[in-house]
Structure 1
Amino acid sequence: MIVGAVPLLLLLPLVAGQWGPLIAFDRSLAQSLHDAITPSPGLAHGLEVWTDAFGTWAMRIVSLLAAAWLLIRRQVSTAVWAGATVFLANLFGLILKVTVDRPRPEFADPVAVGVGPSFPSGHALMAVTGMGILLFAVLPLLRGGWRMFAWVVAVGIALSTALTRPLLGVHWGTDILAGMSLGLFTIALTLLLWTFLPPIARRWDRPSPTSAPKA
């Protein structure tokens, strides 16, 4: 849990305090990515399609559908875990966005336009959270190589979705690291709390060895 939070804990005071070297790095990276993407409208469009397909709202829906599916399977406490995780991830992200209130990158010829404060990236946060919830929901049902395949798909979608944001010029690079870190921290925190639930909290769960999410 602490490991997942390390990037966020390191970046938060530096971003909030507008530490010069970090701000200069973010601006240099943002300009370099913008210069690389601008001449390729087809690539930019593909990035926009991907970031929308696996964006903030899409991952919220995926998370809630996973929770509903777990509930149908009578994995009640795990469904509550999934719902609590997506709720807390959004709450933590909103609190940080409002508190830090970091402006987004600005360009004379923007590839895409984002709204709201920049830190942390909501897309990066929800990509990690949504795919993490889905992964832990389905892993108990998979065996052998399918488990590794699920991990590769989940990590690939989360990472690629997060990377679309600085490529499109709507987030700073450090926003992405912070968002992914916050997502990992939230999942770890809620899984830890879920692990220590008393037996009475699981009284509606279907008795099954596959009722708990496993890494």
Structure 2
Amino acid sequence: MHLTNSSPTITPRDRHLLRHATLAVCCAALFATLAALVQTGWSPLARLDRVLTDHLHRFASDHTVWTASVQMFSDVGGTITMRAALGVTAVWLWLIGARILACWVAAQALVGWGGHWLLKLSFGRPRPSFSDPVSHAGGPALPSGHAMASAITCAVLVGLLWPRIGRSGRITACSVAALTVLAVGSSRFFLGVHWPSDVLAGWLAAGTVLGSVTVLVELARPGALARDFRRVNLRTRPRIQRVLVSTRPPRRPTAETAADPAADHPDGLLR
């Protein structure tokens, strides 16, 4: 009797789906917990929000130059800028033939925008109010649109770069993205237009959107994202070797290369 291993094989696509499904479920659960605490007025969270916001407002009022710099950074890293960056990226991907990847990027922007306003209108949380505000913003507070949009945009851009860069490049890209997300999000409660928990909710909502959109695209078009990533690599990778070959002076043929033409090729192989 021959025994065979009947356990299912876990493919890279399965791990990819599981990873993003876990991200979406965990972020959604944490967001729901945070929103419930906000809605029920849980005193430790409400007290922390108020203490941090009041302290930062006093600091912002006393340091006007620093506050103006933070306001400028918050405006530059706002929702319009972030979603415009995703829109330009989606158009570029479409033009080079990576259509599914372009739709994935566009869906992240659109679902993030729609989910942001749906959540805001659903909870209707008031923003912080001061007699001498240093900045103004309209609409409900929860979640922070700046925090949500910056997290989605930076994660998408790092994801597009990930297969094309090495270890040091990945560390740099992740560091820059993390610092950008932290700076944009923290600028909102520093300026007194959001509670700190609004910013945390925005980051959790962004994780939910990133994971759920990726899972839906993978289920609808299995393997299409991976194929488009390879297509982007083929269309955009630098032709360094071709340039080096074209600028290298030709070698004089010898008896050895005449007998073996492949030996004179830069790679030692005929193409």
Question: How high is the TM-score relative to the length of structure 2?
Answer: 0.72
Task: Please give the residue correspondences for 1:108-127 in structure 2 after superposition, counting only pairs within 5 Å.
Answer: 108-127=131-150
The one-character-per-residue Cα deviations of 1:35-89 (angstroms, maximum 9, x if unpaired) are 1221100110110111011111110101111111211221111110111111111
1:175 aligned onto 2:198? yes
Q: Which residue does the alignment assign to 1:159?
A: 182
Q: Which residue does the alignment assign to 2:161?
A: 138
Tell me if structure 2 keeps the 8 A contact 1:60–1:130.
yes
Tell me if structure 2 keeps the 8 A contact 1:68–1:79.
yes
Q: Distance in 2 between matches of 1:107 and 1:12?
A: 23
Higher relative contact order (CA 8 A, sep 6+): 1
* 2:75 aligned to which of 30, 52, 77: 52
Distance change >3 Å, CA 196–CA 209, structure 1 → 2: farther
1:128 aligned onto 2:154? no
Q: Which residue does the alignment assign to 1:107?
A: 130
Unpaired runs of at least 5, structure 2: 1-22, 235-271
Distance change >3 Å, CA 71–CA 36, structure 1 → 2: same
Distance change >3 Å, CA 206–CA 118, structure 1 → 2: closer
The one-character-per-residue Cα deviations of 1:124-168 (angstroms, maximum 9, x if unpaired) are 000101111222122222223112211111111111100100000
Tell me if structure 2 keeps the 8 A contact 1:7–1:177.
no
* 1:185 aligned to which of 196, 202, 208: 208
Distance change >3 Å, CA 206–CA 90, structure 1 → 2: closer
Tell me if structure 2 keeps the 8 A contact 1:128–1:180.
yes
Distance change >3 Å, CA 21–CA 201, structure 1 → 2: same
Q: Distance in 2 between matches of 1:199 and 1:16?
A: 39
Please say which of residues 135-144 and 82-91 is displaced more in the overlay: 135-144
Greater gyration radius? 2
Q: Distance in 2 between matches of 1:151 and 1:201?
A: 25
Q: Distance in 2 between matches of 1:206 and 1:132?
A: 15
Identity of aligned residues (%): 29
SS at match of 1:208: helix
Q: Distance in 2 between matches of 1:25 and 1:206?
A: 44
Tell me if structure 1 keeps the 8 A contact 2:98–2:232.
no
Q: Distance in 1 between matches of 2:51 and 2:176?
A: 31
Q: Distance in 1 between matches of 2:193 and 2:121?
A: 17
* 2:85 aligned to which of 52, 62, 78: 62
Tell me if structure 1 keeps the 8 A contact 2:151–2:181.
yes
Question: How high is the TM-score relative to the length of structure 1?
Answer: 0.90
Distance change >3 Å, CA 195–CA 105, structure 1 → 2: same
1:15 aligned onto 2:32? no
Distance change >3 Å, CA 142–CA 106, structure 1 → 2: same
Aligned residues: 210
Tell me if structure 1 keeps the 8 A contact 2:128–2:195.
yes
Q: Distance in 1 between matches of 2:228 and 2:171?
A: 27
The one-character-per-residue Cα deviations of 1:99-133 (angstroms, maximum 9, x if unpaired) are 11011001111111111100000000001011112
Deviation of residue 20 (structure 1)? Answer: 3.0
RMSD: 2.1
The one-character-per-residue Cα deviations of 1:165-184 (angstroms, maximum 9, x if unpaired) are 00000000100000011011
Q: Distance in 2 between matches of 1:129 and 1:160?
A: 14
